[in-house]
């Protein structure tokens, strides 16, 4: 049974009281969204974060390029200073602190684990510097903030979120027959208005109905036409950093047909289209399958998915209900299936089971004391870079489909070497008293396993506390939950 705490959350702390009813404990956590447990000063909205993105973009592309036109060395130095001034290496570290505090210190670790699922579902991959300024805030404002609402709300808000519109190029999706498309400057500057299919395709393929729904290339183009005009207002001082809104001048006029349904021209088209997509049977099946895959097994059975789909249908895609159903299925299959955890969830389980005196994440006072304009110090920089080394930095997905939820994709010698290495790293995040505490591993093991004696016996064969850590957190019982 204790595996369940690792399956839907990150295990129990050595001194944490075991919940008497694990299922109720888990389900209650997804009903409401608590305040962030991170006590640092810098929790800014996605919009506030954009000013740093704008400063970097305009500073580099407009000012520095001009100023150092004939001086590549000067340009490089000025660029490096600009990166420090806008906190390019600081903000992702700060965001990871906020993100990981939810798993380690918050009251709702189950909600955190599902939050990570959704941030990966609505991935913004590592392009256009968004990872440095926007992805963390986007994941807070548009994903987590909507986890107590219907899927439709989350899908709509994620779709028209500024970073998503930038990421999937909808800013360049302009109706050829729109007012803007007919403007004289386009001919003069040879910049014809054209459809950009990127976002429309991913909205269907990755975010809602999946290719299983059987849409055609024509459907993609038609949905792209519906999406024309949703973009940030362009201005010299914002360079596309202003709010996303519907620009009628760039919207393709006329009716559009997606999956056989007619959509009128105008602002409402996209909102209705998203409503139709999220209510398509393929959408709930796709998401139910993905949730079960994330929590239970690579290949969920129809019996696993069915209760999640049912909860979706009965609640109109109300996410707390969908989550509760998925948690219940995970609970029922707890003994039968073990899922190899992705590196981030494994790391957080390792830290969480180890206890609370850890210096992880980097402390608030260190994060808050960092002044923009300087090179971030080791602890701040390490906050993010090791996740990259582990293979799953949460803001640096390489492609819009995010990280894989399949076990196979996390199995390789190098990835296992990382687990060994970072279990060791984890040990040295203890304070000295804990490092010397000989009973520490027994406490962890007794509180986290149904068969503590067997585990203890294995771990006791290691010579030092550091080695015990390496062994314990690389046991199949911890790697798979």
Residues contributing to the site for another protein (CB under 8 A): 88-89, 126, 169, 171-172, 174, 186, 190-198, 201, 205-206, 211, 217, 220, 378, 381, 385, 388-389, 391, 398-401, 408-418, 420-421, 424-425, 458, 461-463, 467, 470-471, 474-476, 479
Pairing of strands 244-246, 256-258: unpaired
Tokens at residue 251, please?
């919207």
DSSP class per residue in 354-384: H-S----SPPHHHHHHPPTTS---HHHHHHH
Please, which residue, 121 or 144, has the CB nearer to another protein?
A: 121
Residues 195, 224: Cα–Cα separation, whole Å: 7
Rounded least distance, CB 314 to another protein, Å: 29
Residues 119, 214: Cα–Cα separation, whole Å: 25
Rounded least distance, CB 406 to another protein, Å: 9
Rounded least distance, CB 174 to another protein, Å: 5
Beta bridge partners of 262: 257
Cβ within 8 Å of residue 465, ≥6 positions away: 427, 435, 436, 437, 438, 440, 441
Please, which residue, 165 or 326, has the CB nearer to another protein?
A: 165
Please, which residue, 97 or 131, has the CB nearer to another protein?
A: 131
DSSP class per residue in 433-470: HHHH-TTHHHHHHHHH-SSHHHHHHHHTTSSSHHHHHH
Please, which residue, 283 or 325, has the CB nearer to another protein?
A: 283
Rounded least distance, CB 36 to another protein, Å: 25
Please, which residue, 146 or 362, has the CB nearer to another protein?
A: 362
Please, which residue, 248 or 381, has the CB nearer to another protein?
A: 381
Please, which residue, 288 or 470, has the CB nearer to another protein?
A: 470
Count Cβ atoms below 10 Å from residue 58 Cβ, excluding itself: 16
Rounded least distance, CB 265 to another protein, Å: 19
Please, which residue, 188 or 262, has the CB nearer to another protein?
A: 188
Rounded least distance, CB 411 to another protein, Å: 6
Left (φ > 0), alpha (ψ -120 to 50) or beta: where does 169 sit?
left
Rounded least distance, CB 105 to another protein, Å: 27
Element at 226 (helix H, strand E): helix 217-227
Please, which residue, 109 or 376, has the CB nearer to another protein?
A: 376
Rounded least distance, CB 17 to another protein, Å: 29
Question: Which alpha helices (H) appear in 38-108, and where do they start and end?
Answer: 46-58, 65-67, 72-85, 91-104
Rounded least distance, CB 53 to another protein, Å: 16
Where does residue 389 rank: exposed (0-12), middle (13-18), buried (19+ CB within 10 A)? middle
Pairing of strands 230-232, 261-263: unpaired
| Residue 480 DSSP class | B
């Amino acid at each position: 049974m204790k595996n369940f705490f690792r399956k839907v959350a990150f295990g129990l702390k050595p001194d944490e009281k075991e919940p008497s009813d694990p299922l109720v404990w888990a389900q209650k956590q997804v009903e409401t969204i608590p305040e962030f447990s991170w006590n640092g000063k810098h929790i800014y909205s996605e919009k506030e974060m954009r000013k740093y993105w704008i400063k970097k973009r305009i500073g580099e592309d407009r000012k520095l390029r001009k100023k150092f036109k004939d001086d590549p060395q000067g340009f490089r130095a000025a660029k490096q200073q600009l990166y420090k001034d806008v906190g390019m290496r600081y903000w992702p570290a700060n965001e990871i602190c906020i993100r990981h505090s939810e798993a380690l210190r918050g009251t709702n670790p189950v909600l955190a684990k599902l939050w990570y699922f959704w941030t990966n579902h609505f991935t913004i991959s590592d392009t256009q510097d968004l990872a440095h300024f926007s992805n963390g805030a986007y994941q807070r404002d548009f994903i987590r903030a909507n986890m107590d609402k219907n899927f439709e709300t989350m899908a709509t808000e994620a779709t028209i979120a500024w970073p998503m519109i930038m990421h999937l190029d909808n800013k360049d999706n302009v109706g050829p027959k729109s007012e803007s498309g007919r403007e004289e400057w386009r001919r003069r500057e040879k910049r014809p208005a054209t459809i950009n299919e990127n976002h429309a395709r991913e909205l269907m393929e990755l975010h809602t109905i999946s290719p299983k729904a059987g849409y055609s290339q024509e459907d993609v183009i038609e949905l792209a036409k519906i999406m024309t005009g949703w973009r940030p207002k362009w201005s010299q001082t914002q360079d596309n950093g202003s709010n996303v809104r519907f620009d009628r001048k760039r919207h393709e006029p006329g009716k559009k047909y997606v999956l056989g349904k007619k959509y009128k021209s105008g602002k409402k088209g996209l909102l209705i289209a998203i409503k139709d997509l999220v209510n398509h049977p393929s959408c709930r099946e796709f998401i139910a399958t993905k949730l079960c895959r994330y929590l239970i097994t690579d290949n969920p059975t129809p019996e696993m998915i069915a209760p999640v789909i049912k909860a979706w249908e009965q609640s109109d895609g109300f996410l707390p209900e969908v989550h509760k159903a998925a948690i219940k299925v995970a609970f029922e299959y707890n003994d039968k299936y073990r899922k190899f955890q992705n590196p981030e969830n494994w790391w957080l389980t390792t830290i969480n089971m180890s206890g609370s005196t850890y210096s992880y994440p980097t402390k608030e006072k260190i994060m808050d004391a960092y002044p923009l304009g300087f090179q971030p110090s080791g602890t701040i920089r390490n906050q993010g870079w090791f996740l990259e080394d582990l293979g799953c930095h949460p803001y640096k997905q390489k492609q819009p489909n995010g990280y894989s939820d399949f076990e196979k994709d996390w199995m390789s010698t190098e990835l296992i070497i990382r687990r060994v290495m970072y279990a060791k790293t984890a040990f040295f995040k203890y304070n000295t008293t804990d490092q010397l505490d000989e009973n520490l591993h027994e406490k962890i093991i007794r509180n986290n396993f149904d068969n503590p004696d067997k585990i203890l016996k294995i771990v006791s064969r290691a010579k030092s506390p550091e080695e015990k850590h390496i062994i314990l957190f690389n046991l199949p019982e911890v790697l798979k939950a």
